């Protein structure tokens, strides 16, 4: 319910999402389910990181989630560590970020078919978060390389694909690759039209704002026109 409420509100209703995740965490602790408890903490960290833009709170939650699932789920432990890396990146802490990325990669290598959270695992998760981290750290070239490879492996028209393509747009734009950025954003919009994921929409708006210095260029005008048409259908 917490995830549903947050998605339905386009990632604006932080309070209700936190309430549902808190309920889930309390219920998990009552039945001594460390995996469920860790997952609820991880979901809360998403709200802190991507909704409230509070990396310090997000880091505290991801660290707690990783500790809670250290012995019960390699998947949730690794995901928590990945998002801890992103929290460090948001705060400009490159060494801590890269250390967490390495830790998450090592933990993913331990994932087996009997992991209780296996359905949450995807082989593209590390690349998606690593690319985002390097964007936050101001290394657009490195982010582009990672995100381009990750996008090539994602062909499922999922919310994750929209986020990866949106971040790849930003990475190219920040290197002055306006033509490539516009083409990539059109690909992201193709996915957004099918999923309407809040994360993809947020990055789409961010990319359109960053394109303003080139607003007289035809390809940028086309992107803005498509964005307006897309939002008019909602």
Supply the range of the domain harboring residue 146. Answer: 140-234
Same domain, 112 and 144: no
- Average confidence (pLDDT) over 143-149: 96
Q: What is the pLDDT of residues 23-32, one digit of tens each?
A: 999 999 999 9
Q: What is the pLDDT of residues 47-58, one digit of tens each?
A: 999 989 999 999
- Average confidence (pLDDT) over 206-230: 92
- Please check the confidence at residue 156 and state whether its pLDDT lies above 70: no
Dist CA 109 CA 112 (whole Å)? 8
Q: What is the pLDDT of residues 164-193, one digit of tens each?
A: 999 999 999 999 999 999 999 999 999 888
So what's the pLDDT on residue 234? 67
pTM of the model: 0.90
Which residues contact residue 107 at a Cβ distance below 8 angstroms, ignoring those fewer than 6 apart?
74, 77, 78, 81
Same domain, 164 and 211: yes
- Please check the confidence at residue 205 and state whether its pLDDT lies above 80: yes
If residue 212 lies in a helix (H) or strand (E), which one and from where to where? none
Note whether residue 133 is domain-resident.
Answer: no
- Which backbone phi and psi does 83 adopt, to 5 degrees? -75, -25
Same domain, 4 and 113: yes
Same domain, 109 and 187: no
Tokens matching residue 8:
């339905």
Dist CA 37 CA 26 (whole Å)? 8
Quote the mean pLDDT of the chain.
93
Same domain, 114 and 148: no
Note whether residue 49 is domain-resident.
Answer: yes
Same domain, 73 and 151: no
Note whether residue 29 is domain-resident.
Answer: yes
Question: Domain end: 92, 121, 150, which one?
Answer: 121
- Average confidence (pLDDT) over 93-119: 96
- Please check the confidence at residue 203 and state whether its pLDDT lies above 80: yes
Same domain, 116 and 144: no
Same domain, 116 and 166: no
Same domain, 106 and 7: yes
- Average confidence (pLDDT) over 148-154: 91
- Average confidence (pLDDT) over 98-125: 95
- Please check the confidence at residue 233 and state whether its pLDDT lies above 80: no
Question: Domain end: 88, 121, 154, which one?
Answer: 121
Dist CA 194 CA 33 (whole Å)? 35
Same domain, 57 and 113: yes
Question: Domain end: 87, 121, 155, which one?
Answer: 121
Same domain, 14 and 58: yes
Total domains in the chain come to: 2
Tokens matching residue 144:
């582009």
Note whether residue 126 is domain-resident.
Answer: no
**What does each C-alpha distance from 81 to 10, 42, 116, 139, 189 come to in angstroms?**
25, 10, 18, 21, 29
- Please check the confidence at residue 200 and state whether its pLDDT lies above 90: no
- Average confidence (pLDDT) over 89-118: 96
CATH code, domain carrying 230: 1.25.40.10
Note whether residue 153 is domain-resident.
Answer: yes
């Amino acid at each position: 319910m917490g995830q549903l409420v947050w998605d339905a509100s386009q990632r604006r209703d932080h309070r209700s999402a936190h309430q549902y995740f808190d309920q889930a965490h309390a219920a998990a602790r009552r039945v001594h389910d460390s995996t469920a408890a860790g997952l609820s903490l991880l979901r809360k960290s998403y709200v802190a990181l991507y909704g409230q833009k509070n990396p310090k709170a997000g880091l505290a939650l991801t660290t707690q989630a990783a500790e809670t699932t250290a012995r019960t789920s390699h998947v949730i432990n690794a995901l928590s560590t990945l998002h801890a890396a992103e929290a460090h990146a948001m705060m400009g802490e490159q060494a801590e970020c890269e250390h967490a990325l390495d830790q998450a990669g090592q933990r993913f290598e331990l994932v087996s078919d009997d992991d209780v959270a296996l359905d949450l695992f995807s082989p593209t998760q590390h690349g998606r978060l690593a690319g985002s981290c390097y964007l936050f750290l101001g290394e657009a070239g490195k982010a582009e390389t990672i995100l381009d490879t990750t996008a090539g492996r994602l062909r499922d028209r999922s919310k994750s694909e929209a986020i990866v393509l949106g971040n790849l747009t930003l990475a190219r734009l920040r290197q002055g690759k306006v033509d490539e950025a516009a083409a990539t954003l059109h690909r992201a919009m193709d996915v957004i039209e099918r999923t309407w994921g809040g994360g993809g929409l947020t990055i789409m708006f961010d990319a359109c704002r960053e394109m303003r210095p080139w607003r007289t260029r035809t390809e940028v005008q086309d992107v803005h026109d498509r964005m307006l048409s897309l939002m008019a259908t909602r």
